[in-house]
Chain A
C-alpha cells in the first residue's frame, strides 16, 4: 500500500511565524503535490513537483514556497504565516505514468494561525 505521511495532524502558530509542513511518501513516486482544503472551496493546488529540485506553481502559490531535496520528501513553507492561511493542508503523491495516474493523499495537517 502507498503510504503518504505528514509531519503533524494539528498545528497552532502565530501570525508572522515561519511554518514548515513536511510530507513523506514511501513508494518512490515522482510527483508530489500540496493542496489546501477550505469549506465550500474544495481542494486547491498550491504547488507540485515532478522531480527532485523541481517545482511548479499551482493555483494559489502566493504566501507559500516548497522544497524537494529528496524524492520522497516534499516540504511546504509558509514564510510568514497569516490568519488567512488557517486551513487543512493535504499532501499527495503519484507515480509518473502516461494514463490513469492516481494521486494518493496523506492524512492532512490542520493548521491554525492565531
Chain B
C-alpha cells in the first residue's frame, strides 16, 4: 500500500472549517483513500473514503486532486469534539486487506 504524509499537528478555531491535507504521491490506480480519526483512548472511527471523485457524508468531505497524489479532508464546522488524531490511509481495496495507520495529524479545535 502507498505511503502517506500528513502534518504532525494542526489547530482550528471552533466553528471554522478544518482542512486536513494528505500527500500520497505513489498511489496506484486501485488504491482508495480512507480517513479515520481516533479520539483519545478510543478505537479509530471511520470517517470517509474515496477513489477519485470527491465524496461527502454527514461527517466530512473528501477532496481528491485530479492526479490523485493528494487529498484533503474537510470538517465543515469544527467542534471541540472533533479534537482527535486524523489518519489518512491509502489502501488496495481487497477484502480483508489490513489498514496501515501511520502517525496521523493531531487536530486541536480551539474554543
Residues of A within 8 A of B (CB): 4, 30-31, 33, 35, 37, 40, 42-43, 45, 48, 50, 56, 58, 90-92, 94, 96-108, 110
Can you list 22 A-B pairs with a CB-CB distance of less than 8 A?
A31-B95, A33-B98, A37-B101, A42-B100, A50-B95, A56-B96, A90-B44, A92-B43, A92-B99, A94-B95, A94-B96, A98-B95, A99-B32, A100-B49, A101-B95, A101-B96, A102-B34, A103-B46, A107-B42, A107-B43, A108-B41, A110-B41
In the A-B complex, the 3 residue pairs with the closest CB atoms: A105-B43, A43-B101, A99-B93
1/0 contact string of B71-96 vs chain A (CB within 8 Å): 00000000000000000000001111
Closest CB of chain B to A108's CB: distance in Å?
5
B102: chain A residues within 8 A (beta carbon): 42
Interface class of chain B by DSSP: loop
Complex Cα spacing A94 to B93, Å = 12
Chain A CB within 8 A of B25 CB: no
A98 nearest in chain B by CB position? B95
Given A42-B103, A100-B32, A108-B41: A58 in contact with B98 (beta carbons within 8 A): yes
Given A40-B103, A100-B49, A102-B49, A31 and B96 touching (CB < 8 A)?
Answer: yes
- Chain A residues near B65 (CB-CB < 8 A): none
Min CB–CB distance A99 → chain B (angstroms)? 4
A-B contact count (CB 8 A): 64
The listed residue (A43, A92, A94) touching B100 by CB distance below 8 A is A43
In the complex the two chains form, is A48's CB within 8 Å of B98's CB?
yes
B residues neighboring A (CB under 8 Å) = 32, 34, 36, 41-46, 49, 51, 93-103
Q: Hey, which chain A residues are within 8 Å of B99, CB to CB? A: 43, 92, 103
> In the bound complex, do residue B95 and residue A102 qualify as a contact, i.e. CB atoms below 8 Å apart?
no
Closest chain B CB from A53 CB (angstroms):
15
Which residue on B lies nearest to A33, using beta carbons? Answer: B98
Contact A50 B41 (CB under 8 A): no
User: Which residues of chain B have C-beta atoms less than 8 A from A30's C-beta?
Assistant: 95
